Amino acid sequence: MRYTFQKMVQYRYEASEPEMGHWCIVLVPDDEHGTIIFLQKADTQNLTLVQAEEKAEELNQKLVAKGIAAG
């Protein structure tokens, strides 16, 4: 599994600029048939593109440190 960022569902079909808070963090399972989980915390929603990229990287590093994901 890994964390990545996606456009929030309510903004999916709207135009977005990188500085707009239209991005969120999602957990993507290794199993291609698994369910993508949209994180619900305040610090994982309404992010700018740069914030979302940084947050996803931070969470992925925590997975690696715990031995849950490959580095």
Can you give the pLDDT at residue 71? 55
Query: Distance between CA atoms of 3 and 12, rounded to whole angstroms?
Result: 19
Q: Where are the domains of the chain?
A: 2-65
Can you give the pLDDT at residue 32? 86
More confident residue, 69 or 42: 42
Model-level pTM?
A: 0.88
How far, rounded to the nearest angstrom, does the alpha carbon of residue 31 sit from its chain's CA centroid?
17
Contact 44, 58 (CB under 8 A): no
Can you give the pLDDT at residue 67? 87
pLDDT tens, 14-62? 999 999 999 999 999 988 899 999 999 999 999 999 999 999 999 999 9
Burial class of residue 13 (count of CB atoms within 10 Å of its CB; 0-12, 13-18, 19+):
exposed
